[in-house]
Amino acid sequence: MPVTRLHEHGDVVVFRTTLKLKTGRNPGGLIYFCPDRIPPKPEVLFLANGFAANHKTYTFRSRIPDGGYADSFADFLAKWGYIVMVKDVGSERTRIEPTFEDHMAHVPHYAETTLRVVAEEIPRFCHTSGIAMPQGVHWIGHSMGGMEAMAAESRAFISSLITIASPTYMNSEEEPTRRLAHIFGGVLGVRKRYTHVPVSAGLLSKVTDAMFKALQVESGRDLTEVQESFVRTMARRPFVNLVVHNFLNLEHLDLETAVAFFRTGLSDETLHLMNEFAQAILSADTQTDHVLGHPIQRLNIPTMVMSGQGDHIAPVRSCENLLNFVDHPLKRKVYFDKYDHLGLLVRHGAEDHVWPHILLFLKEVSLRGGTVAAAREARDTARFLLDNLALGIEARNYARELLANAEARLKPRAQAKPKPRKKKSPEK
């Protein structure tokens, strides 16, 4: 597979590659990894973006006050020794699937191709030999990136599933969401004969993205008073409000998240896919066993559901409904009071409150494998997070739980060592 080395920051190396799927589609992919931290038996993560988004959902790096940039979510995972594949569509005008049905049908193909590309490309960058690649990827999906895995008829090559702000049914009571649906499903829906013509769902975002780049703005902290006033005014314009309000809480506009959103550059979708989402909302689609009209397929893999109370697109109850279809004993749910749809990944504080949950879940999945190495890794990870990060209450409780479970797995082995027998004293 052709790869292009993009950049290197800290220990993280980033490559762009092409995922040549067996279906003939050739979407892009970004590989994040740290050559010196990849273990002999690495784990591979596949990060799938949502509707009208692209890889920036996972790769956005905010500017820090003292200079430089903070780690992105993909950086965070790579520094823990994971090989991270981020689906890269939209920003590079890579051809993408036109319907939700196509998205869910391609789930196993993405997973299989990722494993093949990683097995071919990664070993030559590692200093250790004999790397054993896994049989499956851990699928992490934001919004539609998680929904497509719910409805996928085949989850071959997928070891676990983490959904972030991924609703099962599209019954939103939020007025801005319904108004947005009327635009996509009403005004645009009239053009049925053009349903397969690609259009940009985020044209406005692309314009503002270009504006911020021209001003060399990477963060809300870079804005002058005039620019800040302009951003706030623009974000409250009727049409912009319809789009942005679904991702941000405009009553308490977080400029960091606003700039992150505008700089994301939404991907090119098709009218057909836009209409699918719109019609699901407009028809008050409350079928709790369906997602966008497709049956939710039962899952027998470890699953974690994450959601935010401030999310107008994916209500907590709709996200957590997925767990009713999980047959595997390892299933978790967690919601965050102050986080909205996009903020779960890019908002300030997510690195301490949200991201650690994903890392801890991945370690818990490995812990269930029963190996001593996995137990030690889980124990050490939990201890590190507790000692070095300003974890939120939920993340701290999860870390303590994992630490206790890991130590419990290690204790029996320590006690299993035979004790030396005492010599009997000779009988008198």
How confident is the model over 292-302, as pLDDT tens digits? 889 999 999 99
Asked if the model's pLDDT at residue 15 lies above 50, the reply is: yes
Q: What's the whole-number mean pLDDT along residues 2-18?
A: 74
Q: What's the whole-number mean pLDDT along residues 242-260?
A: 56
Give the residue among 205, 211, 214 at the shortest CA–CA distance from 267: 205
Asked if the model's pLDDT at residue 121 lies above 90, the reply is: no
* pLDDT score at 347: 81
- Both tokens of 279, joined, read 């019609």
Give the three-class secondary structure for 374: helix
Q: What is the pLDDT of residues 88-120, one digit of tens each?
A: 875 334 445 568 888 899 999 999 999 999 998
Burial class (CB in 10 A: 0-12, 13-18, 19+), 73: buried
Q: What is the mean pLDDT of the chain?
A: 79
Give the confidence band of 428 by pLDDT, cuts at 50, 70, 90: very low
User: pTM of the prediction?
Assistant: 0.84
The string over 163-194, giving b where at least 16 C-beta atoms fall within 10 Å of a residue's C-beta and e elsewhere, is bbbbbbbbbbeeebbbbbbbebbeebbeeeee
| CA–CA distance, 163 with 150 (Å, rounded to integer) | 9
Give the three-class secondary structure for 306: strand
* pLDDT score at 236: 63
* pLDDT score at 118: 92
- Both tokens of 305, joined, read 């559901």
* pLDDT score at 225: 80
Give the three-class secondary structure for 55: coil
| CA–CA distance, 379 with 139 (Å, rounded to integer) | 23
Q: Any idea which fold 3-169+287-370 has?
A: Rossmann fold (3.40.50)
> What angle (nearest 5°) sits at the alpha carbon of residue 378, between those of residues 375 and 382?
140
Give the residue among 171, 336, 186 at the shortest CA–CA distance from 249: 336
Residue 348 carries which side chain, given as an amino acid letter? Answer: H
Q: What is the pLDDT of residues 381-406, one digit of tens each?
A: 999 999 998 898 999 999 999 999 99
| Residues in a beta bridge with 160 | 138
| Phi, psi angles (nearest 5°) of residue 162 | -125, 120
Asked if the model's pLDDT at residue 186 lies above 80, the reply is: no
Q: What is the pLDDT of residues 322-342, one digit of tens each?
A: 999 999 999 999 999 888 888
* pLDDT score at 191: 46
| Residues in a beta bridge with 333 | 305
Asked if the model's pLDDT at residue 309 lies above 80, the reply is: yes
- Both tokens of 81, joined, read 């020794």
* pLDDT score at 151: 95
Strands (DSSP E) contained in 249-289 are 268-270
Q: Report the percentage of the chain scoring pLDDT > 70.
A: 69
- CB distance 101 to 12 below 8 Å: no
Asked if the model's pLDDT at residue 64 lies above 90, the reply is: no
* pLDDT score at 206: 52
* pLDDT score at 313: 82
Give the confidence band of 310 by pLDDT, cuts at 50, 70, 90: confident
